[in-house]
């Protein structure tokens, strides 16, 4: 595989795959879960392209990347479980513009929709990693969390790996389209956070004036 035109994350991922084979792709994805700035939208299509060159089999890379996704998600689940509900509530209580009712509402929402959040969250940029933390905080049963994470990760990984496999030398085109999805998600998050902050500031201002 020609690597002289690759740089950054792509070069690093290629190096792992050249040295470790398909488990290297799994390791890259496990680290991507722990460090979201490492984009799966680059690593997975590149792994698919590498498989198309005969470096390793397509089934192998799908297995190892999904295993890596689950391993990374379980690490973050453990982080959330270690944080725990009580410690989280103490942290939120000290945060400006936040209160414990926010935690109560989030917990109630997760109790109703946690399964869907974990499954579909594995297919949404940014939330792919973050969704594991509240699952750990709420102590979702580990087996259920693992099965939902495996299913969601397998769908996400398969789509990107197959795209890279089919596109071959043009594997990097996948990143362009995935980037649009990520920007859309970021825009929605920014708008939601802005609306929340404006609403909370107005609440606090009205409360101060009333007192």
Please check whether residue 195 lies inside any domain of the structure. Answer: yes
| Phi/psi at 156 (5° precision) | -60, -50
Please say if the pLDDT value at position 41 is more than 70.
Answer: yes
Residue 10 and residue 46 in contact, taking contact as beta carbons nearer than 8 Å: yes
- Where residue 3 falls among pLDDT bands split at 50, 70, 90? very low
User: Which is more confidently placed, 69 or 167?
Assistant: 69
Q: Has residue 71 been placed in a domain?
A: yes
Q: Is residue 3 part of a domain?
A: no
The residues, any chain, with a CB within 8 Å of residue 61's CB and separated by 6 or more, are 22, 25, 47, 48, 50, 51, 161
Distance CA 37, CA 22 (A): 21
Nearest to 160 by CA among 83, 22, 65, 84: 65
pLDDT above 90 for 71? yes
CA distance 131 to 124: 10
Range list of β-strands (E), the chain: none
Cα torsion 145, 151, 157, 162 to 10°: value is: 170
When divided into structural domains, the chain yields a total of 1
Confidence of residue 90 (pLDDT cuts 50, 70, 90): confident
In a domain? residue 58: yes
Q: Is 154 within a domain? A: yes
Q: Is the pLDDT of residue 45 over 70?
A: yes
Residue 174 has pLDDT above 70, yes or no: yes
What's the rounded Cα separation, in Å, for the pair 127 and 188? Answer: 12
- Answering whether pTM is above 0.85, one says no
Domain limits for position 119: 8-210
Q: Which residue has the higher pLDDT, 137 or 91?
A: 137
Residue 201 in domain: yes
Q: Pick the more confident residue, 189 or 150.
A: 150
Task: Please check whether residue 1 lies inside any domain of the structure.
Answer: no
In a domain, 91, yes or no: yes
Phi, psi dihedral angles at 61 (to 5 degrees): -70, -35
Q: Decide if pLDDT at 118 tops 90.
A: yes
Angstrom CA distances, 120 to 9, 41, 132, 175, 182, stand at 26, 17, 12, 20, 15
Residue 2, pLDDT > 50, answer no
| Lowest-confidence segment of 105-119, 149-163, 177-191 by average pLDDT | 177-191
């Amino acid at each position: 595989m020609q690597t002289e035109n690759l740089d950054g994350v792509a070069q690093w991922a290629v190096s792992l795959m050249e040295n470790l084979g398909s488990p290297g792709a799994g390791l890259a994805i496990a680290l991507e879960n722990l460090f979201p700035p490492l984009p799966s939208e680059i690593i997975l299509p590149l792994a698919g392209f590498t498989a198309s060159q005969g470096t390793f089999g397509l089934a192998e890379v799908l297995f190892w990347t999904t295993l890596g996704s689950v391993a990374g998600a379980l690490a973050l689940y453990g982080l959330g479980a270690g944080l725990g509900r009580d410690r989280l509530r103490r942290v939120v209580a000290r945060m400006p513009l936040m209160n414990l009712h926010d935690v109560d509402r989030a917990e109630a929402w997760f109790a109703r929709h946690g399964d869907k959040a974990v499954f579909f969250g594995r297919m949404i940029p940014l939330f792919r990693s973050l969704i594991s933390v509240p699952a750990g905080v709420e102590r979702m049963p580990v087996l259920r969390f693992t099965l939902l994470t495996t299913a969601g990760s397998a769908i996400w990984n398969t789509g990107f790996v197959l795209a890279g496999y089919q596109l071959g030398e043009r594997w990097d085109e996948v990143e362009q389209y995935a980037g649009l999805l990520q920007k859309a998600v970021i825009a929605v998050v920014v708008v939601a956070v802005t609306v929340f902050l404006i609403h909370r500031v107005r609440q606090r201002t009205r409360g101060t004036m009333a007192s």
